[in-house]
Structure formats: structure tokens, C-alpha cells
Amino acid sequence: MTFDILTLFPGMFDGPLTESILKRAAESGLITVRCHNVRDYALDKHKSADDAPYGGGTGMVMKVEPLAGCIEAVKGERPRAKVILTTPRGRTFTHRLAKELAEEPGLIIICGRYEGVDERVSSLYVDEEISLGDFVLTGGELAAMVMVDAVSRFIPGVLGGAGAAHTDSFCDGLLEYPQYTRPPEFKGLHVPEVLLSGNHAEIAKWRRGESLLKSRRSRPELLIAADLTARERRWLAERNDEEVTG
């Protein structure tokens, strides 16, 4: 998978994408991250990539010409790559969307800045607009880093072939169960006995139950769309009754 990042600040990517799992994935050729400076495609001697908005208002807007030049240059090399614009108005980035994007032949991610991007960029070049959530960042660079990280985890081999991306939180629509490691006791808190039992069926049952309970406490809306059995729904209702009476 090749990620082409179109940005005004390519230096921001030097640290996060050159450490840990992503570094190993790049070194082994599983992913390639290329940063393209949009200013290199500016038409004036000052390398201007933004201008005041038509109609007035505060802030600046990213200009269409530099972005168009940069997109067309990258598309010329990677014509099948999907073009994404990071913007608060876009589709919310989720576990499921990250998995979908991992199936693409390549991604071109435009990092929005300032008050936004000239609308003609979206009209002419963008395949999908994506947002991390209902908040605003100083720029799309951080959003692009998050997308590269989340999508890369679905690339075969990036996580060492263990398939961990398919057992994480949200893989089945729920939050992940609690995790423990040594020591078995710390400051009076003990690892649940079932995890020390060696009984894999009971461990799986406990983890599923904890996943259901944690999702209900922290993200109850996830249970609405989750694929739960009738027995699991009854079990949750019973736990709810116990909490109320207790």
C-alpha cells in the first residue's frame, strides 16, 4: 500500500511515521509513505498556497492551482489511487472505514488547512471526504497520520501476521475486553481467576461478557447495531437488574 500525503508541512510526518510498527512495515516494503509539498506546485515566486476567501470572512483558504498541480502529478504516477480530503464535514473515520480503505490500491490524502480548501478541489479531484470526528484540528496532517496508522494495521504482515487488527476494539462492533499481564497482583488488585485457569472456553466466555459490559457502560449506542444473540441480550438485562438492585 502506498500513501501519498499532500501537505504544506511535510516535516510533521518525520516522527510519527518513522517509528515502531509503521517503521518496520515501511522497511519491509509493506507500506510506502510519500509526502508531497503542495507549495512546490504554487504558481507565484512566493510559493503562495492560500488566499483570502471570496465573499469575505476570517482566515485563509487553500488555493486550487497548487493543489490541482500536486494531485495531477501524483495521479499521473498512481492513477488508481483513491483521493481523500481531510475535512470536518466529511464521513466519520471508523474501524470499518479503515478496513475498507486498506483494500484500495493506494491512497492520496490531502491535508486540509486554514478555513478549508477551495471547493473546486473537491468537485474535480476528491473521491471521498473524511473527518476524524466532531472537532476541529489546526490542520489535516494529524488526521492523515491517524488514517495511515489505522489503515496500515489491516495490511497483511504489518502486525506480524498475528491478525490482531481483527480482534481489536470495534472489530465486532464492541469495545475490547480488559487486558492483564504479570504480576498477578498489584496494590491489592488481582487478575481475574478465570484468566489464570487455562480453560480457554471459560476465558472466551468471560472476555465476551466483559466486552458487552464495557460497551454498555462506555458506548451504549454500540449495542444497538451489535450482532448479539438472544441469550446475550438476556444476560445483559440480568446484569442491569443486578446493578440497579445492588
Whether residues 139 and 195 share a domain: the answer is no
- Residue 58 falls inside a structural domain: yes
Statement to judge: residues 22 and 138 lie in one domain: yes
Q: How far, in Å, CA of 19 to CA of 172, rounded?
A: 29
Task: Please tell me which residue, 38 or 240, carries the higher pLDDT value.
Answer: 38
In a domain, 159, yes or no: no
Residues 31, 128 within the same domain = yes
Mean pLDDT of 159-188: 78
Within 10 A of 21 (CB to CB), how many other CB atoms are there? Answer: 14
Q: What is the CATH number of the domain that holds 233?
A: 1.10.1270.20
- Count of domains forming the chain: 2
pLDDT digits (tens, 9 = 90+) for 73-84: 999 999 999 999
Q: Is the pLDDT of residue 125 over 90?
A: yes
Cell of 245: 438492585
Residue 166 lies in a domain: no
Q: What's this model's pTM, rounded to 2 decimal places? A: 0.87
Confidence of residue 64 (pLDDT cuts 50, 70, 90): very high
- Which is more confident, 120 or 171? 120
Residue numbers annotated as active site: 88, 115, 153, 168
CA–CA gap between residue 226 and residue 235 (Å, rounded): 15
Q: State whether 141 and 198 are in the same domain.
A: no
Say if 211 falls within a structural domain. yes
Distance from C-alpha of 148 to C-alpha of 181, rounded to nearest angstrom: 29
Percentage of residues in the chain having pLDDT higher than 90:
88
Which of 61, 17, 54, 62 is closest to 38 using CA atoms?
62
